Structure 1
Amino acid sequence: MVMSKKQGRTFFKKQSSDKFSKKHEMISETSTISKEHEVYLKKVKSTKRRIVITRILILVIFVGLWQIAASLKWIDPFLTSSPTRVIKSLVSLYEDGSLFKHIGITCYETILGFSLGTILGGLIAVILWSCPLVAKILDPYIVVLNALPKVALAPIIIFWIGNGMPAIIVIALLISVVTTIISVLTGFNEIDKEKIMLMNTFRASKTQILRYLIFPYSIPIFISALKINVGLSWVGVIMGEFLVAKNGLGFLIVYGGQVAQLDMVMMSIVILSIIAFVMYEMVAFVENRLVKDKN
């Protein structure tokens, strides 16, 4: 049966009309999805904004109540200090030129101990993963080192290395390195064995397995270790400064307690809290960037 010209035109018009209607439906569906996505994004932004505002309000209310309680003698200002007395102590140290010196020394010790502990712990975890037999042999010793209070090792380290900054950095390193080894090695061992077997089937070397499988899948583990090490490094440095330092925020805390200047103690604690928070946020920023790149 041969189609006439008129029937052909009608057929092509119908086909084009159907295509147009389908395109129109697809566009309308896309626009609907986009609107829903836009509403979702607005909701996420609104939630984040509320969280930030609530955090700020909690801090403002806490500081305000602290100041009011100290001013009205609900609490003893000598024992608990107050925001105004903390600010006066801060200004006093700034005027004599020692404030940034103490902050800089503590930050330098913390960053160095944090970096060395994380890098060394990661390298040891890679070596133990590459040598399963060695990892099984050393497993109980690593557990004991992790359970052992590092404060007990501090006097020994000071006698070995001597008073001063190197001993403080080593104490911070020891506190963070064992935790890094355990967390990173655990993350390595939790990766799907079938994927490793698949790469072994293709005769991939251990270096290739580490580079293309272990490391990419272990990024969240590394970030988690970094977040933990931020706090542990501060603990190690302050503990070391308590014992041997003549400068730093830890020294100010000990000195302020000895001479009954609790304003100085509270000021040092506030500064430590702010710097530790900034370091944690820097790690969180790196995490967000890595997650975006991975996506």
Structure 2
Amino acid sequence: MADKPSQLQSVIRFQEAYMEQEKMHKRKVRIVRSMLLVLFLALWELCARLGMIDDFIFSSPSRVLFCFWKMVRDGSIFAHIGITLFETVVSFAIVTASGICVAVLLWASRSASEILEPYLVMLNSLPKSALAPMLIVWMGSHVHTIIAAAVSVAVFGSILTLHTGFLSMDPDKIRLIYALGGSKKDVLTKVLLPGSVPLILSNMKVNVGLCLVGVIIGEFLAARRGLGYLIIYGSQVFSCVYI
């Protein structure tokens, strides 16, 4: 009995040492990550000032910062960021909701899954940038078109990922629900959705980036505001500070 307090203290000291080691590791990672970014920007600026690269084509961090500050002062950057952020958030919400709903429907209906899965795979394999011009022809040059382009980039892959995750759920848990007299609805609400939360969150992280890419692609072709429009404008006037 006398050894238990000492054993408990040893465990506590081990946990504290482990937590301190993890903190040091995370701090080291942040420092090295920041140093790499600073080193890259410093080399970029140095090469531009020494004439090793053409600053008209490649620009430089100081010129980019000056242009950004100029747009902050006149407020134009906030309008461009705001519209791109709005389109990204709306498309992300649509992709997340529709991805979960369609994946649940495919899980609930084996026939629907077997019929629709080949088409979803085909649509997901299409080059996403090729859909944007078609959407402009069909829907016109509007914000809705850009949101639709962003949704088309992410939604099919989201459905397939979630559907595959739903099908790989632990069958023993599902059989237990049925053995206790539960229905398919009980399996959905008590096993499938709670057990798929990590998968859904991971899928949402991917969808954020894909929706932003889709919005930028849409703004390349059908926008007069937004970060995608700024990139196209910069390439047209040969001003890389906007890009």
TM bin (shorter chain): over 0.9
Q: Contact 1:118/1:176 (CA < 8 Å) preserved in 2?
A: no
Aligned partner letter, 1:170: A
- Matched position secondary structure for 1:261: coil
Structure 2 residue corresponding to 1:91, chosen from 69, 79, 103:
69
Aligned to 1:118: 96
Aligned to 1:254: 232
Determine the C-alpha separation between the residues in 2 that align with 1:151 and 1:26.
65
Aligned to 1:283: none
Equivalences, count: 243
- Matched position secondary structure for 1:153: helix
Determine the C-alpha separation between the residues in 1 that align with 2:5 and 2:74.
69
Determine the C-alpha separation between the residues in 1 that align with 2:10 and 2:77.
58
Determine the C-alpha separation between the residues in 1 that align with 2:28 and 2:74.
41
Q: CA deviation at 1:94?
A: 2.1
Aligned to 1:205: 183
Q: Contact 2:57/2:238 (CA < 8 Å) preserved in 1?
A: no
Aligned to 1:138: 116
Determine the C-alpha separation between the residues in 2 that align with 1:75 and 1:156.
39
Aligned to 1:67: 45
> Which ranges in structure 2 are unaligned for 5 or more consecutive residues?
none
Matching of residue 45 in structure 1 with residue 23 in structure 2: yes
- Matched position secondary structure for 1:246: coil
Q: CA deviation at 1:29?
A: 0.8
Q: Which has the larger radius of gyration?
A: 1
Matching of residue 176 in structure 1 with residue 154 in structure 2: yes
Determine the C-alpha separation between the residues in 1 that align with 2:73 and 2:28.
38
Determine the C-alpha separation between the residues in 2 that align with 1:159 and 1:135.
31
Aligned to 2:217: 239
Aligned to 2:169: 191
Q: Contact 1:241/1:250 (CA < 8 Å) preserved in 2?
A: yes
Aligned partner letter, 2:242: M
Determine the C-alpha separation between the residues in 2 that align with 1:165 and 1:143.
27
Determine the C-alpha separation between the residues in 2 that align with 1:187 and 1:207.
18
Matching of residue 149 in structure 1 with residue 130 in structure 2: no
Q: CA deviation at 1:156?
A: 2.0
Q: CA deviation at 1:206?
A: 1.9
TM-score (norm 1): 0.80
Determine the C-alpha separation between the residues in 2 that align with 1:69 and 1:131.
60
> Which ranges in structure 1 are unaligned for 5 or more consecutive residues?
1-21, 266-295
Aligned partner letter, 2:158: T
Determine the C-alpha separation between the residues in 1 that align with 2:196 and 2:12.
34
Q: Contact 2:124/2:156 (CA < 8 Å) preserved in 1?
A: yes
Q: CA deviation at 1:92?
A: 2.1
Q: CA deviation at 1:150?
A: 2.1
Q: Contact 2:162/2:199 (CA < 8 Å) preserved in 1?
A: yes
Q: CA deviation at 1:224?
A: 1.6
Q: CA deviation at 1:193?
A: 1.3
In the TM superposition, what whole-angstrom CA distance separates every residue of 1:81-115 from its partner, at most 9, and x where no partner exists? 10110011112222332110011001100111111
Which sits farther off after the overlay, 52-61 or 145-154? 145-154
- Matched position secondary structure for 1:262: coil
TM-score (norm 2): 0.97
In the TM superposition, what whole-angstrom CA distance separates every residue of 1:143-183 from its partner, at most 9, and x where no partner exists? 10110112222222112221110000011111111111011
In the TM superposition, what whole-angstrom CA distance separates every residue of 1:238-264 from its partner, at most 9, and x where no partner exists? 100000100001001101111111111
- Matched position secondary structure for 1:123: helix
Q: Contact 1:179/1:225 (CA < 8 Å) preserved in 2?
A: no
Determine the C-alpha separation between the residues in 2 that align with 1:122 and 1:55.
35
- Matched position secondary structure for 1:263: coil
Determine the C-alpha separation between the residues in 1 that align with 2:129 and 2:44.
33
Determine the C-alpha separation between the residues in 1 that align with 2:75 and 2:17.
52
Structure 2 residue corresponding to 1:224, chosen from 202, 221, 227:
202
What root-mean-square deviation, in Å, do the aligned CA atoms of Structure 1 and Structure 2 show?
1.1
Determine the C-alpha separation between the residues in 2 that align with 1:139 and 1:175.
17
